[in-house]
Structure 1
Amino acid sequence: MSNKTDDIILLISLARISFLNLTEKLNLLKKLDSYNDLAILSIEDIKNITSRNIRAVWDGRQNLLAARKEAAILEAKKIKYLLYGDEAYPALLKETPNAPFMLFYTGDASCLIGRTVSVVGTRRIAPEAKRAAVQFAYDAACDGCTVVSGLAKGVDGAAHTGAVNARFDSFEDIVSAEGRTAAVLPCGIDTVVPSGHKALAEQIVRTGGCIVSEYVPGTPAENWRFVQRNRIVAALSPATVVIQAPDGSGALITAQYALDYSRDVVFHKAAFSRNAEDVRSLVKSQLAKDFAAGNVSKGKIENTCEKYIEAGAPIIENYKEYCDCMTALPGTYSLKNEQLNLF
């Protein structure tokens, strides 16, 4: 077994420990000479090293066995990775709290180093929002910007499609499109979720983009991992554009992450079309029932588009307006478009 293989197994062994944060993993990495050093540690040893009272079940030997299998998958499927601290690790992501210890990827991760814009929205996409997402991403790619999203149905898929279409048109010399698209998964890098987007994922890679995940191969897509995925989508760009988002949606969770990271949040006018408002009304009604039954939190029902607009988030109609918005003085663009009249 090569030293490189040994190193990968050690890194994966650390990456898969969910109860350790980034700083703790990096500190452990400095203290360990091999994956065997980690495997023989007890939970008490880890508590002493981290100086934290960790409540977790830990079996170092089982963790090592799993890491060996996952390393074999990486090699068999030619999956690459970036370690926190690597020169190619995306700078915007690196500066956020508890950034991923490792980023696993297929395709060309260099697209995450240049200009990026995150595009998010609901799965219950309105026709106007679908057209808006495709066109916005198409124009962004033509401008050399990488479109970041989550590969979900609805707005995510439409955004990836727009960027991919621009690249294909560029191959035919119809347009000049240097921009690409990157999809962040809520599961292991060896799986595409949803499965219906496998062809789209292949197109993303074929057109120079990438599929990325912080999770080791074989990790299932559980609900909480979608939220964790959203933080990476927000972190990878200086701005997040919300195409359509009902109250309490995952897209608005991404918007909140963006604000937490001192990034811009921008809304597309399509988010307030009649069809989009119909979806919002249905979701709002269901949320009210769920809240009354104690199934959702007050914070979820209060996470609305209005919350961000009233705080100054601008509304744009196309990619050109987005660019104008990003170059305008803070707080001035929203005053120009009289956006509050929408409500």
Structure 2
Amino acid sequence: METNLLNEPYRELAPETYPLLLGQSKYRPKRLFCKGALPSADKIGIAMVGTRRPTASAEELCRRLVASLKGTNAVVVSGLAQGIDSFCHKASLDAGIPTIAVLAQGLDAKIDGERATIAERILQAGGALLSEYEGDAPAYKGCFVARNRIISGLSQATLVVQSRKKGGALITAQYCIDEGKLLLAIPGNFDCDLYSGTNALLDSGHAKPVFIPENLRSAAGISLIEGAKIEQLTTCGVQLSSGAQKVFDRFNGFRKTFSELQEDFGFKAPELLAILTELEISGLVTSKDNFQFYFNGA
């Protein structure tokens, strides 16, 4: 029988063990409670926040944004609210990217519906739930504003995906601005109310735009984890086949699905599988789902 990690006891963190950038933030809380595993010191927090009632295409947008962080040291930080927050947590879990949820209630307080499923998945995947509230303390209105400062405080950069002109995501954005951190926003149709907040952040010059979801990684200034170098492989006596060399040279630093690779090169499935296996063994390509492949070489 699988353990329900949500029922496990929480622990209080000493201030010197606060994760990511929170210990250095002027908004760090006096007390912080945790369930789950904290990220290692080399990880980089990226806050992704937005409205609870997003557009119909928002889930796919969040999936593409999060996928751009594959192969990096990024940790996706959000607030486990319905809508954009939940989409970003789920996308992170599906992509194998660590994620942290900051709650506006005690860690023993009940989490309802799909949010409970996501919270359990976060813990099962080695992520963490954080809160400054003890026990089963309920979420009052002011708790959400306070929660937002922790989301920003943990993170190197904050991305507002979709937001109206007023909302919790813009409060998180203001905390980011106040600490002089990088603020990013997705531009949208000027007639769409769900982009009025992000467009206002961009128009004011406070935020930097992310026009293409796959460019979030570079916009946030996050590098790919260095993979094996071609020169190192040659020194070790490893020679890539001509097909593997061709595929790697073209897509180094990019993410491609299996079908996209087939379309670009016209390989038959068995041939392409052999090439990808060769590149994975050489440390030049990574994939956790055998669907998306990340070309990480230097």
- Structure 2 counterparts to residues 155-166 of structure 1, below 5 A: 155-166=84-95
Q: Percent identity?
A: 31
Question: Hey, what does 1:187 align to over in structure 2?
Answer: 105
Local SS of the residue matching 1:127: coil
Question: Hey, what does 1:277 align to over in structure 2?
Answer: 192
The ranges of structure 1 where at least 4 consecutive aligned residues each deviate by more than 3 angstroms after the TM superposition are 192-196, 278-281, 317-320
Q: How far apart, in 2, do the equivalents of 1:180 and 1:219 lie? A: 26
Tell whether the 8 Å contact from 2:36 to 2:126 is kept in structure 1 after alignment: yes
Report the TM-score, using the length of structure 2 for normalisation: 0.66
Change (3 A) 1:234 1:98: closer
CA distances 1:257-281 after superposition (whole Å, capped 9, x unpaired): 1011111110124xx147x814467
Find out whether 1:268 has 2:186 as its counterpart: yes
Find out whether 1:314 has 2:229 as its counterpart: no
- Structure 2 counterparts to residues 40-119 of structure 1, below 5 A: 77-85=8-16, 88-90=17-19, 92-110=21-39, 114-119=43-48
- The CA RMSD over aligned residues, in Å, is 2.5
Change (3 A) 1:162 1:280: closer
Structure 1's unaligned 5+ residue stretches are: 1-75, 168-178, 282-302, 329-343
Q: How far apart, in 1, do the equivalents of 2:189 and 2:199 lie? A: 13
Per the TM alignment, residue 239 of structure 1 is displaced from its structure 2 partner at its CA by 0.5
Amino acid at match of 1:309: D
- Structure 2 counterparts to residues 232-251 of structure 1, below 5 A: 232-251=150-169
Structure 2's unaligned 5+ residue stretches are: 1-6, 223-298
Local SS of the residue matching 1:202: helix
CA distances 1:276-300 after superposition (whole Å, capped 9, x unpaired): 814467xxxxxxxxxxxxxxxxxxx
Q: Looking at both structures, which has the greater relative contact order when contacts are Cα pairs under 8 Å and sequence separation is at least 6? A: 2
Amino acid at match of 1:322: L
Q: How far apart, in 1, do the equivalents of 2:67 and 2:89 lie? A: 9
Change (3 A) 1:187 1:223: same
CA distances 1:98-141 after superposition (whole Å, capped 9, x unpaired): 42122211111125761120000000111222211122123324
Report the TM-score, using the length of structure 1 for normalisation: 0.58
Q: How far apart, in 1, do the equivalents of 2:161 and 2:12 lie? A: 30
Local SS of the residue matching 2:161: strand
Change (3 A) 1:189 1:277: same
Find out whether 1:153 has 2:153 as its counterpart: no
Local SS of the residue matching 2:123: helix
Question: Hey, what does 2:220 align to over in structure 1?
Answer: 326
